[in-house]
Amino acid sequence: MNIFFGTWILVLTLAAFYIMSDAIQRRRTFYLFLMFVNVAVLYLIVECVMESEMPLSGTWIFLFAALTVIETGLIVYLHLWRKRHISLASIKDGLDGLTDGLCYYYEDGRLVFVKPAMNDIAREVTGRFATDGRLLWDCLANSRAFGSACYYDWGSGQVLGMPGGNIYRIVRNRCSFLKSPAYEIIAYDITEEYNLGLKLRERNERLAGQKKRLLEINDTISDLTIEKEILQTKVNIHDDLGKALVGVRSYISDNIGKKELLGLMNTAISMIDAQKINDRPDDYATVLKAAADIGVNVEITGDLPEGEDDKQLIAAAMRECITNTFRHAKGDTLYIRSYVNDNSEKAVQFTNNGEAPRGTITETGGLSYLRHLAERRGAGMHITSSPQFVLLLTLPDVKRNEYENI
Amino acid sequence: MKTYKVMIVEDQAIARRLFEMIVDNSDDFELLYSVESASVAHMYCDRNCPDIILMDVIMQDRSNGLEAAARIKKSHPQVKIVITTSMPEVSFIDKAKSAGVDSFWYKEADSEEILTVMRHTMEGKSVYPDSTPVVTLGNITSTDLTAAELDVLRELTKGASNVEIGDKLFISPTTVRTHISNMLAKTGFANRTELAIKARLEGLVIPESE
């Protein structure tokens, strides 16, 4: 009976430990050892009971069960505790494996922990290994170096370049150690990132140069294309001249009439005349001619800007104001005054005769486009509606170079 | 017989004179204005509106006939506009249609005479060529490039990077790179710069002015 009972408990114990060890996964050997210890204890209890010829009481069973539960609880707790905590040795091993520099020190400069990489930095920056955290940070923050280390501009701050070629970004944070205020200095190794950044910067500069050349080529090609068109048209004129000459021959031979011959000659002569016209109109000249054609006088006081960008802007403003003069104001004269204002800026003011605006002018269509042009040029644009329409453009001093910021 | 008032917008004096003579020699058209820049075209329309405009696209002063046409159509929708160009730029036809341009005529390649186009346009017909002139680009012709490739090529001629092209066309830089690689493979050009320059020289793509 006792043997049967003991065997039953043994089987139960084995099953319980198997389940627990399976759930816990590792350290099965340890748990197996524990299991056999418990079995041995159980066996001894059973033997004692048998030898003393006393019946196995519930107290023994309860005690053994309690022992099993306590042991299991302790094992699980220990296992979970180990998962949530790591040893100081593990921390140090882990930190030593990082390439970054690390240093902890109290407020008075006493060091708590310094990584070898930080010691190398300290030697280059202070001339000796780290002994005082405050001194080390003072040198780093003020870009001081003892050895051949140097500082480079990077982003919004500076980075430290070591003689071996490593580049570090230094950061300091407040923390606490054993409930005392402390600081941590971290030197992030950004060597790869920095070198890639340099390559990227070189590449961008090269691309910016290529882009500039490509845009210049675009302009050249535009001119070439126009020349090509002109040339083709001249070839056509040459053909027309040929036809005219043939026509003369035919006229002499009485094959065509005078009227036809005159038509051919007229065509040829007109084409020859057209070649004499300057094919490159000036921005101002084009607008002034258009104004004259549509019956709007333009009175200019002062010298209008001659820079290409400024000319485009002023010519655009002239077009809008001329349109405004006859379309809205029902006037016939546009007044343009060019001067230097109190801020030494070149200013160009446009007003007109005729009716004043009925309300505040809203910038739509042409005026909206004009503002876009002005902003792109870096110029100021101001419109007044009362007592009369006034458009004022103020031009920047320095021409914006679109390639400078690449 | 009714005569229609014509405005010619053409920057080249020779071409402008040619159009003027064509109009003068016709019985049903009379010249109202002849201007050399698209930038002032709308001013003339505001003053004394023509019935039909012959509008060039690319001007020496960098003004754009298509933009001017769109502006005129907005304020004077009754005006008929005929775009005249010698550039085989593939997007011009679509842009012209978007701007509401009535007809489109290629100066060199179109067999139909300009007067015929003008008459059809005044009758209410819209005359557009079936296709753009074919140009040779390396080992291929312009018809061998897809619409997407041409869009990328147009931006490429501005010297834009793959990222900038992708941002402009709302495609990824990887897709841009693929299109450029495909074009280089098709044309046989050595690099993207050569591709951009050759395309620009042929007038196949013309970058929009900023």
The CATH number of the domain where A351 resides is what? 3.30.565.10
Q: Which CATH number covers residue A153?
A: 3.30.450
Give a yes or no: residue A306 inside a domain: yes
Residue that finishes a domain, picked among A61, A84, A107: A84
Q: Distance, in angstroms, between B60 CA and closest chain A CA?
A: 7
Per the CB < 8 A criterion, the answer to whether B151 and B169 are in contact is yes
Q: CB–CB of B36 and A286 under 8 A?
A: yes
Bigger pLDDT: A4 or A372?
Answer: A372
Task: Based on the fold, state whether residues A288 and A385 are members of the same structural domain.
Answer: yes
Give a yes or no: residue A214 inside a domain: yes
Q: What is the ipTM of this complex?
A: 0.71
pLDDT at B126: 93
pLDDT exceeds 80 at position B122:
yes
Task: Based on the fold, state whether residues A139 and A176 are members of the same structural domain.
Answer: yes
CA distances from A404 to A311, B209, B210 (A): 22, 20, 18
Note the pLDDT tens digit of each residue in B138-167: 999 988 999 999 999 999 888 888 999 999
String of b and e for B9-20 (b: at least 16 CB within 10 Å)?
Answer: bbbbbbbbbbbb
CA-based nearest residue to B107, from B58, B153, B42? B58
Task: Based on the fold, state whether residues A152 and A219 are members of the same structural domain.
Answer: no
Report d(CA A345, CA A177) in Å as an integer: 61
Mean pLDDT in residue range A172-198: 91
Report d(CA B183, CA B151) in Å as an integer: 12
H-helix or E-strand containing B81?
strand B80-85
Give me Rg for the CA atoms of chain A: 47
Query: What does the longest C-alpha to C-alpha distance in chain A come to?
Result: 158
Give me Rg for the CA atoms of chain B: 19
Structural domain count, chain A: 4
The one-character DSSP state at B190 is: S
Residue in A278, A283, A293 nearest the CB of B61: A283
> Residue B72 is encoded by which pair of tokens?
């005129």
* Cβ pairs A/B, distance under 8 A: 117
Task: Based on the fold, state whether residues A180 and A107 are members of the same structural domain.
Answer: yes
Report d(CA A326, CA A329) in Å as an integer: 6
| Residue A233 forms contact with B (CB below 8 Å) | yes
Sequence-distant (6+) residues with CB within 8 A of A5 are A46, A56
Sequence-distant (6+) residues with CB within 8 A of A179 are none
> Residue B162 is encoded by which pair of tokens?
């793959």
10 Å CB burial of residue A274 (0-12, 13-18, 19+) is buried
The one-character DSSP state at B209 is: P
CA distances from A116 to A101, A112, A113, A123, A183 (A): 7, 13, 10, 11, 18
pLDDT exceeds 50 at position A148:
yes
Residue that finishes a domain, picked among A63, A84, A105: A84
CA-based nearest residue to B41, from A220, A132, A323, A22? A323
Note the pLDDT tens digit of each residue in B170-183: 999 999 999 999 99
Q: CB–CB of B161 and A207 under 8 A?
A: yes
Note the pLDDT tens digit of each residue in B46-59: 888 999 999 999 88
Q: Distance, in angstroms, between A317 CA and closest chain B CA?
A: 11
- Residue A18's domain comprises 2-84
Per the CB < 8 A criterion, the answer to whether A161 and A149 are in contact is yes
Give a yes or no: residue A402 inside a domain: no
Report d(CA B116, CA B119) in Å as an integer: 5
| Residue B26 forms contact with A (CB below 8 Å) | no
| Residue A285 forms contact with B (CB below 8 Å) | no
Residue in A233, A267, A319 nearest the CB of B43: A319
| Residue A264 forms contact with B (CB below 8 Å) | no
Chain B's closest residue to A217, CA to CA, is B197
Q: Which residues of B touch A291 (CB under 8 A)?
A: 43
Q: Which residues pair with A187 in a beta bridge?
A: A101, A170
| Residue A207 forms contact with B (CB below 8 Å) | yes
Residues in chain A: 406
Q: CB–CB of B39 and A287 under 8 A?
A: yes
Q: CB–CB of B46 and A323 under 8 A?
A: yes
Chain B's closest residue to A270, CA to CA, is B17
Give a yes or no: residue A198 inside a domain: no
Three-state SS for A74-97 is HHHHHHHHHHHCCCHHHHHHHHHH
Give a yes or no: residue A404 inside a domain: no
Note the pLDDT tens digit of each residue in A222-273: 667 667 666 776 776 677 677 777 777 777 776 667 777 777 677 667 666 6
Mean pLDDT in residue range B92-100: 91
Give a yes or no: residue A194 inside a domain: no
Q: CB–CB of B12 and A230 under 8 A?
A: yes
Of all residues in chain A, what percent carry a pLDDT higher than 70? Answer: 75
Report d(CA A219, CA B61) in Å as an integer: 12
Residue whose entry in the numeric block shows the structure tokens 């000249």: A285
Q: Could you tell me the pLDDT band of residue A333, with boundaries at 50, 70 and 90? A: very high
Task: Based on the fold, state whether residues A113 and A130 are members of the same structural domain.
Answer: yes
Q: SS3 for A176? A: strand
Task: Based on the fold, state whether residues A271 and A298 are members of the same structural domain.
Answer: no
**Domain at B136-202: CATH architecture:** Orthogonal Bundle (1.10)
Testing the interface with A: which of B33, B37, B198 to mutate, by most A Cβ within 10 A?
B37
Range B72-80 contact pairs with CB under 8 angstroms and sequence separation of 24 or more: B72/B41, B72/B42, B72/B45, B73/B99, B73/B100, B73/B101, B75/B42, B75/B45, B75/B46, B76/B45, B76/B49, B78/B49, B79/B45, B79/B49, B79/B50, B79/B51, B79/B52, B79/B53, B80/B51, B80/B52, B80/B53, B80/B121, B80/B122
pLDDT at A402: 41
Residue B132's CB: how many other CB atoms inside 10 A?
19
pLDDT at B183: 95
Per the CB < 8 A criterion, the answer to whether A357 and A385 are in contact is yes
Give a yes or no: residue A308 inside a domain: yes
10 Å CB burial of residue A292 (0-12, 13-18, 19+) is exposed
Note the pLDDT tens digit of each residue in A388-401: 899 999 998 654 44
Residue A158's CB: how many other CB atoms inside 10 A?
16
H-helix or E-strand containing A6?
helix A2-24
Mean pLDDT in residue range A115-131: 90
| Residue A286 forms contact with B (CB below 8 Å) | yes
Let me know how many helices (H) and strands (E) chain B has, helices first. Answer: 9, 7
Chain A's closest residue to B160, CA to CA, is A211
Task: Based on the fold, state whether residues A185 and A211 are members of the same structural domain.
Answer: no
Residues 126-185 of B with CB under 8 A from A: 157-161
Report d(CA A165, CA A124) in Å as an integer: 13
Range B160-165 contact pairs with CB under 8 angstroms and sequence separation of 24 or more: B160/A211, B161/A207
Task: Based on the fold, state whether residues A290 and A391 are members of the same structural domain.
Answer: yes
Bigger pLDDT: B193 or A41?
Answer: B193
CA-based nearest residue to A166, from A188, A140, A142, A198? A188
Task: Based on the fold, state whether residues A333 and A381 are members of the same structural domain.
Answer: yes
Q: Which residues of B touch A322 (CB under 8 A)?
A: 43
Task: Based on the fold, state whether residues A226 and A330 are members of the same structural domain.
Answer: no
Report d(CA A82, CA B158) in Å as an integer: 63
Sequence-distant (6+) residues with CB within 8 A of A257 are A251
Testing the interface with B: which of A227, A271, A279 to mutate, by most B Cβ within 10 A?
A279
Report d(CA A267, CA A188) in Å as an integer: 80
Residue that finishes a domain, picked among A239, A257, A275: A275
DSSP A199-216: HHHHHHHHHHHHHHHHHH
For helices A28-51 and A2-24, angle between their N-to-C axes, nearest 10 degrees: 170
pLDDT at A64: 72
Residue in B43, B61, B86 nearest the CB of A322: B43
Note the pLDDT tens digit of each residue in A151-182: 988 887 889 999 988 999 999 999 988 889 99
- Amino acid present at A259: K
pLDDT exceeds 80 at position A22:
no
Q: Which residues of A touch B193 (CB under 8 A)?
A: 210, 214
Chain A's closest residue to B193, CA to CA, is A214
Give a yes or no: residue A242 inside a domain: yes
Report d(CA B39, CA A198) in Å as an integer: 45
Per the CB < 8 A criterion, the answer to whether A396 and A377 are in contact is yes
Mean pLDDT in residue range B91-106: 92
Note the pLDDT tens digit of each residue in A48-69: 766 665 555 667 677 777 777 8
Report d(CA A171, CA A163) in Å as an integer: 20
Task: Based on the fold, state whether residues A214 and A184 are members of the same structural domain.
Answer: no
CATH number at B4-122: 3.40.50.2300
Per the CB < 8 A criterion, the answer to whether A319 and A293 are in contact is no
Q: CB–CB of B39 and A319 under 8 A?
A: yes
Residue in B40, B87, B157 nearest the CB of A287: B40
pLDDT at B203: 82
